[in-house]
Structure 1
Amino acid sequence: MKACHSIVPVFDEANLVSAAGLVPVLELAGRAGLDGLLAEHLSVPSPNAVDKSRSVIAGMLAGADSIDDLDLLRAGGMARVVAGVRAPSTLGTFLRTFTHGHVQQIDKITGCVLAGLTRQVSGLLAGGRAENGMVFVDVDDTIREVHGYAKQAAGFGYSKVRGLNVQLATVSTPTAAPVIARARLRRGNVISHAGAPRLIAQAVNTARAAGARGQVMVRADSAYYLRDVLAAAVRHDAWFSVTARMNPAVVKAIASIGEDAWAPITYPTAVFDAQVGAWVSDAQVAEIEFTAFTSLPKAKQVHCRLVVRRVRRLQPRASDGSVQGELFADWRHHAFVTNSTLSTIEADQRHRGHAIIEQVIAELKDGPLAHLPSGHYAANAAWVAFAALAFNLARAASIAAGMATARWATLRRRIITVPARLAATGRRLVMHLPTRWPWAPAWAALWDVATGPPRPVTT
Structure 2
Amino acid sequence: RAPLLQTRGGERVMVDLDDTIIEVHGYKKQGASFGYSGVRGLNALIATASTSTSAPVIVGQRLRQGKTGSPKGAARIVGDALATLRRMHPGSSVRPLLRADSAFYGHGTIGTALGAGADVSVTVRMDPAVKAAIATIPDDAWEMIEYPNAIRDETTGRWISKAEVAEVPFTAFRSRKIAERVDGRLVVRRIPDLNPNKVEQPTLFDVYRHHAFFTTTDKQSMGTVAADKTHRGHAIIEQVHADLKGGPLAHLPSGVFTANSAWLVLAVIAFNLTRAAGLIADRAGRLARATTATIRRTLIQVPARLARSARRITLHLPEAWPWQTAFDRLFTTTHTPPPATAS
TM-score (norm 1): 0.68
2:103: which partner in 1? 223
Residue 142 of structure 2 is aligned to residue 262 of structure 1: yes
Letter in 1 for 2:291: R
Q: Secondary structure at the match of 1:364?
A: helix
Q: What residue is the counterpart of 2:320 in the other structure?
A: 436
Cα offsets for 1:213-247 (capped at 9, x unmatched): 23200110000010111101110110000000011
* Aligned residue identity for 2:12: M
Alignment partners' CA distance in 1, 2:163 and 2:76: 35
The aligned residue for residue 237 of structure 1 is 117
Which of 172, 175, 193 does residue 53 from structure 2 map onto? 175
Between the aligned partners of 1:394 and 1:134, the Cα distance in structure 2 is: 24
Q: Residue 135 of structure 1 aligns with which residue?
A: 13
Q: Residue type of the partner of 2:214?
A: V
Alpha-carbon distance change, 309 to 452 in structure 1, aligned in 2, over 3 angstroms = farther
Q: Indicate conservation of the 8 Å contact 2:62/2:261, yes or no.
A: yes
SS in 1 for 2:314: strand
- Give the whole-Å Cα distance in 1 for the aligned partners of 2:17 and 2:262: 20
- Report the secondary structure of 1:125's partner residue: coil
Distance 1:267 1:126 in 2: 27
CA, structure 1 residues 423+319, in 2 after alignment: closer, same or farther (shift >3 Å)? closer
Query: Aligned runs of 1:317-332 on 2, under 5 Å?
Result: 318=199, 321-322=202-203, 330-332=207-209
The residue matched to 2:289 in structure 1 has which SS? Answer: coil
Aligned-partner Cα distance in 1 for 2:331–2:246: 26
User: CA 1:452–1:125 in structure 2 vs 1: closer, same or farther (change >3 Å)?
Assistant: farther
Q: Per the alignment, in what secondary structure is the counterpart of residue 13 of structure 2?
A: strand
Q: What secondary structure, in the 3-state scheme, does the structure 2 residue paired with 1:413 have?
A: helix
| 1:423 partnered with 2:304 | no
Instruction: Give, as a single letter, the amino acid of the residue that structure 2 aligns with 1:415.
Output: L
- The equivalent of 1:404 in structure 2 is 288
Q: For residues 449 and 332 of structure 1, what CA distance do their matches in structure 2 show?
A: 53
TM-score after normalising by structure 2: 0.90
| 1:249-278, Cα deviation, whole Å (9 max, x unpaired) | 111111111011111122232212233333
Spell out structure 1 runs of 4+ moving beyond 6 A.
none
1:57-456 matches, cutoff 5 A: 120-122=1-3, 124-127=4-7, 130=9, 132-211=10-89, 213=92, 214-315=94-195, 318=199, 321-322=202-203, 330-341=207-218, 342-402=222-282, 403-426=287-310, 428-451=312-335
Q: Is the 8 A contact 2:35 2:68 kept in 1?
A: yes
Deviation at 1:426, TM superposition (A): 4.1
Please tell me whether the aligned partners of residues 276 and 314 of structure 1 are also in contact (alpha carbons under 8 angstroms).
Answer: no
* Contact in 1 for aligned 2:170/2:185 (Cα 8 Å): yes
Q: How far, CA to CA, are the matches of 2:188 and 2:170 in structure 1?
A: 11
CA offset at residue 427 of structure 1? 5.0
Query: Aligned letter for 1:394?
Result: T
Contact 1:307 1:344 (8 Å CA) reproduced = yes
Q: What is the alpha-carbon distance in structure 2 between the residues aligned to residue 268 and residue 208 of structure 1?
A: 34
Tell me the CA shift for residue 428 of structure 1.
Answer: 3.4
Residue 94 of structure 1 corresponds to none
Higher fraction of helix: 1
Shift in Å at residue 148 of structure 1?
Answer: 1.2
Amino acid at match of 1:177: A
- 1:145 CA displacement: 1.2
Is the contact made by 1:133 and 1:215 (CA closer than 8 Å) also made in structure 2?
no
AA aligned opposite 1:333: H
Q: Deviation at 1:436?
A: 2.6
AA of the residue aligned to 1:421: R
Aligned residue in 2 for 1:42: none
More displaced 10-residue stretch of structure 1: 294-303 or 283-292: 294-303
Once the two structures are superposed, residues 117-143 of structure 1 have per-residue CA deviations (whole angstroms, 9 ceiling, x without a partner) of xxx013x11116x4x121011100011
Q: CA RMSD in A?
A: 2.0
Structure 1: give runs of 5+ residues left out of the alignment. 1-119, 454-459
CA deviation after TM superposition for structure 1 residue 329, in Å: 5.7
Name the CA distance, whole Å, in 2 between partners of 1:340 and 1:283.
Answer: 22
Cα displacement string for residues 28-71 of structure 1 (whole angstroms, at most 9, x for unaligned residues):
xxxxxxxxxxxxxxxxxxxxxxxxxxxxxxxxxxxxxxxxxxxx
Q: Distance in 1 between matches of 2:239 and 2:210?
A: 25
Q: Displacement, 1:319? A: 5.8
AA aligned to 2:296 is R
Structure 2: which 5+ residue stretches go unaligned?
338-343
Residue 381 of structure 1 aligns to a residue whose secondary structure is: helix
